[in-house]
Amino acid sequence: MKNQSTASSLTALSESFVMEAARERLIASGQLGSEHRVRPGMTAAAQDASRDAYKAAHARGQEVGAKAERERIRAILTCEEAHSRPTLARQLALDDTVSLETARKILAHAAKESTGSQFAAAMAALGNPNVGVDGDHSRINGQAIATPEAIFAARKRDIEIYRGNAGGGTEAAGHG
């Protein structure tokens, strides 16, 4: 229990040092004014000015951070390694803990994505079969194929037989 408490205290302390170091870097670079702290004995006007300076610096920090994040995302998505691995590149770009250098290393070692389905790739590997009928189209395996004309003639013959005109005569069946 004591070790967990000590670890939590050390983590909080190190985070505090990191935040203070970042603030000092911003102050040194002129991106953040050091006057944003409210000190005892400050007049109301000085406190207002300090708050306004802090808000402006905070907004500037957000703007700079957002721009840097967009540039990091764009760099990951457009790097050479991302062209053949777009899905992984998007995943890495949207993970704010991954730097451009790390993303490029991961992408370089990842397998390239296929552009189509496995089924399409398998079919393409087999080639395109030549489907169709060659030669005499009136027979299949020696058997005659019924053409529309032959079907019509057979139907006409069946109607004539039904009507009793099988011989081509004009007599009706049973009248004679």
Domain borders along the chain are 31-122
Residue 114 DSSP SS3:
coil
- Interatomic CA distance for residues 113 and 122, integer angstroms: 16
What are the tokens at 64? 């700079």
Least confident of 51-55, 70-74, 110-114, 138-142: 138-142
Q: How far, CA to CA in Å, does 160 sit from each of 112, 153, 171, 172?
A: 72, 11, 11, 10
Kindly report, residue by residue over 117-149, the tens digit of the pLDDT.
778 778 778 877 666 656 656 666 666 777 788
**Residues 88, 107 contacting (CB under 8 angstroms):** yes
What is the Rg, in whole angstroms, of the alpha carbon atoms belonging to the chain? 43
